[in-house]
Amino acid sequence: MSVRQSLLAILDQGPCYGYQLKHEYDRRTGATSSLNVGQIYNTLERLERDGLVRRGEADERGHVYWQITDDGSLEVARWLASPVIRRNTTRDELAVKLAVAATLPGIDVAAVIRTQRAESQAQLHTLQQARYAGENAGGAEELAWTLVMDSMLFAAEAETRWLDHVEERLSQRPGTAASLALATERPKRGRPARIGAA
């Protein structure tokens, strides 16, 4: 989720000061991914640098109100009109961990999977038991909370199904068929040796 665009979208509704933006962000995301105020001010300063917001005058309590610029409003419209493109990345920590574990000789990959499945199922159970505890039950804040929680719940369910798939896939390989020894061939690229190093 883009904090930058989310804050801009909130500011498109009207000027806000930093802590007010935090509160509005929490309300609109069901407080499932709360931001700290420092992160908000850092983001505001970058948005100001990029010409998407401008800093207003401080009120009698010292609150500095931030306002969106026309360019900022255009950025919000572009963000809301465009799809989120999920990058296919191989940097998912769990996928990389299981891939490495599956190719190391002598590793009990089934034990690694069991440990992860217990954690994933505990997380899934926690998400299934979660109930909205905010004010205005049935209102927009509960809807925001529910949308984010449903996304987390579906992701946790998908992870447990994927772990079942990994376990089944590995069970189809006999013994050490998946393990890789260190390659004996040296890579062609690398850091050159330092001459004269002691």
pLDDT digits (tens, 9 = 90+) for 102-126: 887 788 888 999 999 999 999 999 9
Q: Which residue, 48, 81, 114, sits at the end of a domain?
A: 81
Residue type at position 90: T
Q: Is residue 47 part of a domain?
A: yes
Q: Is residue 59 part of a domain?
A: yes
pTM over 0.75: no
Span 28-53, average pLDDT: 87
Residue 94, pLDDT score: 87
Residue 17's domain comprises 3-81
- pLDDT band with cut points at 50, 70 and 90 for residue 76: very high
Residues 44 and 97 in one domain: no
CB under 8 Å to 12, separation ≥6 — which residues? 68, 72, 73, 76
Residue 164, pLDDT score: 93
Domains in the chain: how many in total? 2
Residues 67 and 108 in one domain: no
Residues 75 and 110 in one domain: no
Report the alpha-carbon distance of residue 74 to residue 13 in Å, rounded: 13
Q: Which residue, 81, 115, 145, sits at the end of a domain?
A: 81
Is it the case that residue 31 has pLDDT exceeding 70?
A: no
Residues 62 and 12 in one domain: yes
Q: Is residue 176 part of a domain?
A: no
Phi first, then psi: give them for residue 34, nearest 5 degrees: -60, 145
